[in-house]
Amino acid sequence: MADVLTLVEARLRSALGEPDARAAVTFLGTDRIEVLRFLDATSGIVRYATLGMSAAPMTDPAAALADPEKGPRAELLLSVRAQPGTDTDKVLRPLAVLAASPQVEGVVVAPGNSLDVGEPLWPGAPFTSVLAAEPGGLVEDLELDPPMDPVRFLPLLPMTPNEAAWKRVHGAEALQERWLRHGTDLRAPQRESVRLAD
């Protein structure tokens, strides 16, 4: 499975450039998860990408037997605007926790899912959860040899508690439409909740 991660890292580097930092987190009973940090000095955007979640396919917890090859594979991407006084690098551990959730909790992470870390994503962040968005924009899917599924790189969109509650009622698509309509800067590390009542 190390070969898969080698290919994943190569795809991340080709799309985002050279990482300027990386950290590894290991949870009891799980494989190591790394988080790579990419800084786009031109735009001031910091991107964090997990590496390790795709080593094994995600398995439906209701399945009687886990297939070692077939099943969805993914890595997580978070883009944040660099802002003085905001230590977004502390998001490394929460991201690793989310990336380990398929191994630890049998969660299958897919577009439209809410993922809650139960604490601010970084010190002082107004977000405790994220919305997994559709892949393919920033980093293209990585095709693997059959019968393995491709690795999908899922962008994570931070949600305030109010947004997360609203999404549970109205759905992911409705929340994304609202963000778009109000011109919400989803990369702003200290943004306020979008207006949820018309």
| The pLDDT value given to residue 61 | 65
Structural domain including 7 reads 2-181
Residue 110 lies in a domain: yes
The span from the CA of 156 to the CA of 134, in Å, is: 9
Chain segment 145-187, per-residue pLDDT in tens: 999 999 999 999 999 999 999 999 999 999 999 999 999 999 9
How far does CA 115 lie from the centroid of its chain? Answer: 9
The reply to whether 196 falls in a domain is no
Tell me how crowded residue 197 is: count the other CB atoms within 10 A of its CB: 4
Asked whether the predicted pLDDT for residue 45 surpasses 80, the reply is yes
Cα 135 from Cα 156, distance rounded (Å): 10
198 found inside a domain? no
- Per-residue confidence band for 2, with pLDDT thresholds at 50, 70 and 90: low
Residue 187 lies in a domain: no
> What percent of the chain lies above the pLDDT cut of 70?
96
| 125 occurs within a structural domain | yes
Residue 98, in any domain of the structure: yes
Give me the number of domains the chain comprises: 1
Kindly report which listed range (14-18, 70-74, 166-170) carries the lowest average pLDDT score.
70-74
Mean pLDDT of the chain, nearest integer: 93
pLDDT at 54 over 60: yes
Amino acid at 64: A
Q: Is residue 190 part of a domain?
A: no
pLDDT of residue 171: 97
pLDDT digits (tens, 9 = 90+) for 89-121: 999 999 999 999 998 888 899 999 999 999 999
Domain assignment present for 80: yes
Copy the structure tokens of residue 133: 């968005």
